[in-house]
Amino acid sequence: MDNLANHETRVSDGRPADRHKMRLLFEKTDLARLISHLDLMRTLQRAFARAELPLAFSEGFNPHPYLSVARPLSVGIESRYELLDFGLSETVDPDALPARLNRVLPAGVRVRRAYLSSEGRKSFGDIAWAGYEIRLAWACPPPRAADGLRALFAGGPLPVLKKSKRGEQTVDIAPLVRQLTLTPEGEGRLRADAVLAAGVVSLNPAHLLEAVRRHAPELWPDRSAVLRVSLLDAEGALFV
């Protein structure tokens, strides 16, 4: 997921007035992790319509709503920390928004907070890192798996093959991992708390696992599940 900034749906004209620009913090968990980014945008747009919240539309021949999700997730990854920027064509009390939307959202999509994004709030371009909880499980746990993984990510360069629409390229992912903490969670299970690049250059958690497959195949887990827990700015502070 390189150049994620390009995936954001932005329009240059017809932006809503500042007082109507809002930001939403929401979750996308359980079966909703299978909803793709494009489908999520449509799903959210319809939820706004059901909640009778009039989205601000762009002008022009083919008007579309001003709706932008920060750092779209890959299909299959859950998140407790998704941000949506949008505009309304009228003033709405932000505190009333979560309840209004949650009544009309499909299973697994839940709004946690809404706020006006007028007073000097940073734009999504200032997001630099994302926090993940990655759960790993082995049917036959390899000995000292945590130590092995710690060693793998503590050392030097970690070349991984990344596939994109423009072809394949080998990238050293080591500089894209800001933090990786491993905690045992019972027999054959580990939790990895990771902070990965999510700025102009970004790292999909799948590539962490790819690094394991490539450089320490004996530690390759039988099962893994990924949950995004935060978006952070360049200093590592929570991006809100």
Site residues for other proteins per CB under 8 A: 30-36, 38-39, 42-43, 45-50, 52, 57, 63, 75-76, 104-108, 223
User: Which CB sits closer to other proteins, 30 or 172?
Assistant: 30
The span from the CA of 189 to the CA of 108, in Å, is: 25
User: Which CB sits closer to other proteins, 1 or 232?
Assistant: 1
64 secondary structure, DSSP code: -
Q: Which residues pair with 184 in a beta bridge?
A: 190
Cβ of residue 55: shortest distance to other proteins, in angstroms? 9
What is the SS3 assignment for 38? helix
Cβ of residue 15: shortest distance to other proteins, in angstroms? 17
Nearest CA among 49, 55, 69, 68 for reference residue 20: 55
Cβ of residue 136: shortest distance to other proteins, in angstroms? 13
The span from the CA of 145 to the CA of 7, in Å, is: 36
Nearest CA among 99, 204, 219, 125 for reference residue 162: 204
User: Which CB sits closer to other proteins, 77 or 127?
Assistant: 77
Cβ of residue 184: shortest distance to other proteins, in angstroms? 21
Cβ of residue 223: shortest distance to other proteins, in angstroms? 6
User: Which CB sits closer to other proteins, 74 or 181?
Assistant: 74
Nearest CA among 218, 123, 135 for reference residue 182: 135
Nearest CA among 54, 74, 75, 51 for reference residue 66: 54
Angle, alpha carbons 81-22-112 (nearest 5°): 35
User: Which CB sits closer to other proteins, 26 or 129?
Assistant: 26
**Strands 127-137, 67-69: parallel, antiparallel or unpaired by DSSP?**
unpaired
User: Which CB sits closer to other proteins, 65 or 199?
Assistant: 65
The span from the CA of 3 to the CA of 200, in Å, is: 6
Cβ of residue 60: shortest distance to other proteins, in angstroms? 13
